[in-house]
Amino acid sequence: MNGVTQIASASQSRVFTLAEAEELFPLVRRITGEAQSELEPVRQRLEQIAGGTAAFGEAERRYEELVRRWVSKMERLGLVVQGLWLVDFDTGDGYLCWKYPELHLGHYHDYQDGFSGRRPLVEIIEEQDPDWAQPQ
- CA 55 from chain centre, in angstroms, equals 29
> What is the pLDDT, as a whole number, of residue 50?
86
Apex CA 83: angle with CA 95 and CA 25, to 5°? 50
Which tens digits make up the pLDDT trace of 73-100? 999 999 999 999 999 999 999 999 999 9
Residue 33 CA to residue 85 CA, distance in Å, equals 9
> What is the pLDDT, as a whole number, of residue 96?
98
Tell me if the pTM is above 0.75. yes
Bridge partners for 98 per DSSP = 87
Ranges of the chain with pLDDT below 50: 1-11
Contact 21, 96 (CB under 8 A): yes
